[in-house]
Structure 1
């Protein structure tokens, strides 16, 4: 069976977006799983991002990981992240720095977590949970779009183009909303944490790799949706080739 590249192009973009979105969802659900692709990194009052031997929390969509900075070589100024443990995976996860701080025994007893930072995370808990819901809806929609494409390839007489297009649009819309929320968290929320944590030596940094993955998957779905629309409503409605004229009967 010969495949038309234009017809399967939406499925190709959807498959790549599916993998990228799964990476966004499941990053940090296990120790060292896609490390460095966190939504944001929170540095504790024990130090800052440029210090060595101090704690950090990498916040992901469904979990968080805790770790420390360790010097690469004795006497060197560079440091490397060492992830020690990760929390359990939750679909509607929201990071609570106070609980994470109390569960960690590496900090000194005289150190207290700044309440204003906990209030910031508490205020954004519904925002982060809604972002997770959008990612889950997006993954489900992409999965159904891929299933519709596979069924259409197996049963060539059955057309599932409209189903594929509908799920691609739903996935693109969901991931667009999730990516916008992630971008707001990356810039506005991180800036808020840095402003409120300036006096207590708490800082945060957004994950540029995560933003790259989520917007790449969103862009792929948008392109795939446009391509699917063209296949159905432009190419699909074009009249087919005219039948060849029958040869005139000889002897008339």
Structure 2
């Protein structure tokens, strides 16, 4: 029975090992071009060609027909045609807009990871009907990431043949302010994930002396402390990642609506970080339970010894 209980230490060993791997993946996702790109903290995508750069009508502006843009006038003419003609013209317009998007050189999406940022386009997947993320470029990995979406997009637009600037499409400067706030949160995330990797790794290694030397008090205390520290820092990282990205996504969606900018949360990233959190909590629970059982057993032994002595 004692041997069977000793092999139970494989449970926290496995939990710590999996948490160690998941925390590393959360930390290094996107670290290299195309590596776990779908595990971004947030992703910002946009369609500038459907925004104010084309002079599309809105409910709050262009009420005066005399101020209609060329795009508005063409749109009115198309609306007067039959359904078949409208469908064909819309298909042609869609192809033209897609070609213009390629010519502009702007990316379809921009993603933020813990240590860097990437951008690229949507491409067809050969095996499924869904689109895949084609990574064009990434920033250098750094602990203190400072991703400037406004600067990158303005640079990409300036390189195109149309020489469009973000100012000409009324790009909200407040979007970058929201991303800057998220940049600060990513620095805290980096610190907590590095600590999480360290403590989960040590917790995994500390299972070895527990297996070899049995239920010694000092070994149990060491394992409990390491697992608790690992669970604590990874939990804090998960909370910060979830809260900061949710706030940033909601704010960007609100501010970016006029220019059709959409931000999405990194649900797959959430899965990594919260799975790691749960595993380290279970590891902590194992060692706390084992420590309490040993403490109660030693207490009973002391009480029995006292009764036998007196």
TM-score past 0.5 threshold: yes
Question: Structure 1 residue aligned with 2:110, among 57, 76, 79?
Answer: 57
Task: Please give the residue correspondences for 1:99-178 in structure 2 after superposition, counting only pairs within 5 Å.
Answer: 99-102=151-154, 104=156, 109-112=163-166, 114-153=172-211, 160-178=219-237
Shift of 1:173: 0.8
Who is 1:97 aligned against? 149
Who is 1:12 aligned against? 14
Deviates more, 1:125-134 or 1:215-224: 125-134
TM-score (norm 1): 0.81
Shift of 1:153: 4.2
Who is 2:261 aligned against? 202
Give, in whole Å, the separation in 2 of the partners of 1:157 and 1:184: 40
CA RMSD of the aligned region, Å? 3.0
Q: Which of the pair is proportionally richer in helix? A: 2
Deviates more, 1:207-216 or 1:148-157: 148-157
Deviates more, 1:186-195 or 1:5-14: 5-14
Who is 2:54 aligned against? none
TM-score (norm 2): 0.67
CA contact (8 A) 1:59 1:65 kept: yes
Give, in whole Å, the separation in 2 of the partners of 1:83 and 1:67: 4
Rate the CA distance shift 1:223–1:47 in 2: closer, same or farther, 3 A: farther
Question: Structure 2 residue aligned with 1:84, among 136, 141, 151?
Answer: 136
Deviations 1:89-118 (A, max 9, x none): 112324321343355467663141531111
Shift of 1:239: 4.8
CA contact (8 A) 2:9 2:211 kept: no
- Count residues in correspondence: 237
Who is 2:240 aligned against? 181
Shift of 1:18: 0.6
Who is 1:233 aligned against? 292
Deviations 1:186-210 (A, max 9, x none): 3222011100111122111011111
Give, in whole Å, the separation in 2 of the partners of 1:16 and 1:44: 36
CA contact (8 A) 1:46 1:55 kept: no
CA contact (8 A) 1:6 1:231 kept: no
Deviates more, 1:6-15 or 1:201-210: 6-15
Task: Structure 1: state its 5+ residue gaps.
Answer: 243-252
Deviations 1:106-156 (A, max 9, x none): 766314153111111223332221122111111111122122223444566
Deviations 1:162-207 (A, max 9, x none): 2221111111111111111111133222011100111122111011
